[in-house]
Amino acid sequence: MDVRTTALPVQRQRPLPPPPPPSSSALPITGVHRFLSPALALAAVALLPIAAATTDLSALDGWGLAKVLGPAAWLSMLCAVAACVVELWSPRPRIPMLGTATATLILCSYGIPSVVEPAARFSTAWLISGFVDAMAGDGQVVQDYDARFYWPAFFAQWAWFRDAAGATQLDEVLRWFPPVIVGVWAIGIYALARSMLGGHRAPWAAAWLFLGLNWIEQDYFSPQATGIVLMLTPLVFALGPLATRRTDAGGVPGWPKPHADAKRLALPRRWLVAALTPPNRPTLPARQLLLIYFCSALCLIAVAPEHQLTPFAIIGQLVVLAIVGRFRGRGLVLVGMIAVVVYILIAGRDFWISQLDMIIGSGNAEDAIQAGVSDRLAGDDGQRFVKVLRIVVPGLTWLLAIVGAWVYWRRRRDLTPIALAAVPMAFAAQGYGSEVFLRIVLFGLPILSILGADALRWVARRKRSTEKVLAGCMVVLFGSLILIRGGNESYMIVYPEEVAMTREVYATTPEGQEVVPLVSGVGPYSVAGVDSHSKGDGVDGCSDLIEDPIRCVDLQDPDVILSYESTEAYGRDLKLMPPGWSLDVVRQIVATGEYVITYQNGFDVVLRKVETPEAPPAAPAPAAPAPAPAGAPR
């Protein structure tokens, strides 16, 4: 009997492959990896008080802070670097521990001047504190005192903070502001690197590379420091939640290919396909996107009255992203442009009318190069060595970033990051002055450091043994950072006694009188009196009184002259004047008989103009005798 059936033959099940070993993220942290990084971080912090006690600030010279730091300071920095590297090498890096190690690294590098010095460094930081003090008094901007007052947002913000806290001065804020604000910058770099590089280790390496290469010293108490935060925030949003990636119909990123073995399309055709392919939409919910747009727009509006150049840097970078279609929300570019234009036309009109070349460009790029590079190569051997390093480090940064841009191009076929880093180069054509190249490096450094981290990751993946070499390079990098940043410390350091002396001078000098330093740019000469005392009128050939002391003092005729220990160091280390030159100048001024020393403590001197005694009133002339009456005997 023929029996038909439709049953399929029994299929033997193929043996299943063995389960993969558990990933490193699922393994518990055991052994040395659990305790070594925290122990190194604690050791780094514990060494800081010893570093402060063993640093001889009286021995500062042209080599700066690095020469006078004791072994404890260098060992603290070494432990902080080791804490970061050890945690990064662990089987499962812990994000909280990496954040703690990074904060420790910032404290032991950027914060080392705050630890070993008794007060905030930088004359400019104390000048800005004087601006805040002036605005806290009556809430009004002082007219015709300094161009920075045309961007008063930072000063008004801290004046409000000071009044709300009931404080009368911001000395401790100035002292600890640099490491805190750099920590905020590092968070922004990490978030930016997470979007551009991905992974769990490379973003931390990018943040550390940014910290190691940031020698520009714009992290003191200033509008520029806050401006970098306001610049990084929209950039993080644009390259993160608002980023778009052109995809093919199947959702595969990159240029579409028919199949794996298909012949590659010609380059023009690939460009055309990529340009015509619509970008994908952000995947976040509408409420989150609205919040992101609001925060980005708020930062773009806030940065307009904060700083002169930062708005142009972030708007230029957003324009590049909008042109290549890399972020959704091009209306943010319009918001930023409107904010800048409105501020220029209304609040900053008086300044920009006389400074149009800063917008349209003065074309003096050669003069800017001379003022920003060649003219700075002055001073003793230590000063010149440090300043040569300040030229070499940006060059090496760009070389590393170019390698990283090539690696990034091979992986993602995208040259947008290197274009973002090149946007600040447009400032070279502006009339901003000798510091324009510092701004170019600073504004481009976030992207440059991320590309550099991509290059280093490519090197480490090709040959794992290079990881130890890179760890050694990190130690050298942060050691060089302390050398470069502290190179001017001999004339940038400020002592509490100098601050107290200056405040006492302004408190005892009648309002309206003229108080000037012997050398501008060093010492806390404007910590007070911004709105009550004159800083003097510029005299041709006398930007500083030391250029020709007797003639300049006679022409400017100040009521009070201030000289500090940093004034002595400025002439000795940067101008190659003989030791004791500032006291010689003081004696020359006193010898004229027009000034007298009212206070002296070492090189800290206060000179006051001799008050000319008023002449006694003249005796009244005797009255003329009355005429004799007519007919009277004579």
Which tokens sit at 341?
């234009």
Which tokens sit at 48?
């800081």
Would you list the DSSP string of 195-257? HHT-SSSHHHHHHHHHHHH--S---SSSHHHHHHHHHHHHHHHHHTTTB--BB-TT--BSS--
Task: Specify the pLDDT at position 436.
Answer: 78
Q: Do the beta carbons of residue 493 and residue 64 sit within 8 Å? A: no
**pLDDT at 477 exceeding the cut of 80:** yes
pLDDT in tens, 368-414: 455 555 556 778 899 999 999 999 999 999 999 999 999 999 888 88
Q: Strands 595-601, 604-609: parallel, antiparallel or unpaired by DSSP?
A: antiparallel
Q: Which position has the higher pLDDT, 273 or 454? A: 454
Kindly state the percentage of the chain with pLDDT values over 70: 80
User: What is the SS3 assignment for 1?
Assistant: coil
pLDDT in tens, 414-446: 889 999 999 988 877 665 555 778 888 899 999
The stretch 303-328 carries a mean pLDDT of: 90
Task: Specify the pLDDT at position 264.
Answer: 67
The stretch 437-457 carries a mean pLDDT of: 93
Report the alpha-carbon distance of residue 401 to residue 417 in Å, rounded. 10
Task: Specify the pLDDT at position 203.
Answer: 95
Question: CB under 8 Å to 428, separation ≥6 — which residues?
Answer: 365, 368, 369, 436, 437, 440
pLDDT in tens, 342-358: 988 887 666 665 555 55
**pLDDT at 568 exceeding the cut of 70:** yes
**pLDDT at 363 exceeding the cut of 80:** no
**pLDDT at 188 exceeding the cut of 60:** yes
Kindly state the percentage of the chain with pLDDT values over 90: 59
Highest-pLDDT range among 182-186, 310-314, 530-534: 182-186
Task: Specify the pLDDT at position 126.
Answer: 94
**pLDDT at 615 exceeding the cut of 90:** no
Task: Specify the pLDDT at position 260.
Answer: 63
pLDDT in tens, 81-120: 999 999 999 988 999 999 999 999 999 999 999 999 999 9
The stretch 313-325 carries a mean pLDDT of: 90
Mean pLDDT estimate for the chain: 84
Q: Strands 604-609, 560-563: parallel, antiparallel or unpaired by DSSP?
A: antiparallel
**pLDDT at 572 exceeding the cut of 60:** yes
